[in-house]
Amino acid sequence: MSWFKRIKEGITTSTKEKKETPEGLWYKCPSCKSIVASSDHEESKYVCPNCGFHERIGSEEYFAILFDNNQFKEFNENITSGDPLDFVDTKKYKDRLRDTMSKTHLKDAIRTAHGQVYGHDLVIACMDFEFIGGSMGSVMGEKIARAIDYCLQHKLPLMIISKSGGARMMEAAFSLMQMAKTSAKLTQMSEAKLPYISLLTDPTTGGVTASFAMLGDLNIAEPGALIGFAGPRVVKETIGKDLPKGFQTAEFVLEHGFLDKIIDRRNLKDSLAKLLVMLKS
């Protein structure tokens, strides 16, 4: 399957919308077209039981999958973008934010929380792709920075679940500097010898890849996830020919030495708990 197809499949509809439609009792896998009951699909962590296709999910689902009893303390829930540039393109950034907030019931593209994974404390920062493509602006940088401060204060490990198209253009250089900010903050995690696990999910590209997503003590990805710096379309335009099969998939990135492991979402919580035990000092 080419990556072009894969991207299209991933963005057909969000899991939330599916649940709300009357036909939402059933899930049709965009990859193998097999049909399963939505409850079974959810049960299998939104992974197709037939072919293993990983549907895109957001922070709500990841927290439910990973945190014991879906219990967690969320941080800074109400931080929103300050629109420092008063940015206007075809639409005011302020309006875009307001519309996205009411559509998604999210405040920005990341949520941070402290919970337990089989009894092991963990702080998770998880992105939501449905909020302006999971793009990184000041809110994402600030929430990650504060989550790191919390980890430092309470001596806790951190996991960041990336799912992002990259920079948030409407915050221009502020967005760019979040790469510097998050990377600089991660040096403090290392200094304190606190584990940082990066989970790269579909898609992880641009400024997120070129900062914290690639800086994990462990870099882990979900199967088939698109992972890269430049987007596939840009690379294709640059080289002027079709991209090789499997280019920029998690499997490709692992083969080239930039991932420690690919973990099926259905085994994620178990594997994560094992790793946390092994990293504990």
Number of residues that bind another protein (CB under 8 A): 63
Quick one: 134 or 141, whose CB is closer to another protein?
Answer: 141
Site map 159..178 versus another protein, x via CB under 8 A: --------x-x-xxxxxxxx
Which entry of another protein, Zn ion, none binds 249, CB below 5 to 8 A by partner kind?
none
- Name residues contacting Zn ion, limited to 50-79 (CB under 5 A): 50-51, 53
How crowded is residue 101: how many other Cβ atoms within 10 Å of its Cβ?
15
Provide the minimum distance between the beta carbon of 52 and Zn ion in the complex, in angstroms, as a whole number: 7
Tokens of 50: 């037939």
CA 101 to chain centre: 18
3-state secondary structure at position 205: coil
Taking CB under 8 A as the criterion, the residue among 25, 32, 51, 184 binding another protein is 184
- Name residues contacting another protein, limited to 185-214 (CB under 8 A): 185-188, 206-207, 209-214
- Contact flag: residue 100 with Zn ion (CB under 5 A): no
Sign of CA dihedral 45, 199, 249, 210: positive
How many angstroms separate the most distant Cα atoms in the chain?
Answer: 52
Taking CB under 8 A as the criterion, the residue among 26, 229, 260, 264 binding another protein is 229
- Contact flag: residue 44 with another protein (CB under 8 A): no
Tokens of 172: 């221009």
Site map 234..253 versus another protein, x via CB under 8 A: xx--xx---xx--xx-----
Which entry of another protein, Zn ion, none binds 180, CB below 5 to 8 A by partner kind?
another protein
- Contact flag: residue 31 with Zn ion (CB under 5 A): yes
- Contact flag: residue 27 with Zn ion (CB under 5 A): no
- Contact flag: residue 156 with Zn ion (CB under 5 A): no
The contacts of residue 105 (CB under 8 Å, 6+ apart) are none
3-state secondary structure at position 66: helix
Taking CB under 5 A as the criterion, the residue among 27, 45, 46, 48 binding Zn ion is 48
Residue 203 to residues 120, 160, 195, Cα–Cα distance (Å): 28, 14, 23
Which entry of Zn ion, another protein, none binds 238, CB below 5 to 8 A by partner kind?
another protein
Sign of CA dihedral 156, 111, 249, 117: positive
What separation, in Å, do the N-terminal and C-terminal C-alpha atoms of the chain show? 43
Q: Give the C-alpha separation, 134 to 203, whole Å.
A: 9
CA nearest to 225, candidates 100, 112, 129, 130: 129
Taking CB under 8 A as the criterion, the residue among 183, 246, 262, 264 binding another protein is 183
Which entry of Zn ion, another protein, none binds 37, CB below 5 to 8 A by partner kind?
none
Q: Give the C-alpha separation, 109 to 140, whole Å.
A: 7
DSSP 22-49: GGGGEEE-TTT--EEEHHHHHHTTTB-T
- Contact flag: residue 278 with another protein (CB under 8 A): no
Residues at the contact surface with Zn ion, assessed by CB under 5 A: 29, 31-32, 48, 50-51, 53
Applying CB under 8 A, the residues found at the interface with another protein are 76-85, 87-90, 107, 137-139, 141-142, 145, 167, 169, 171-181, 183-188, 206-207, 209-215, 228-230, 234-235, 238-239, 243-244, 247-248, 256-258
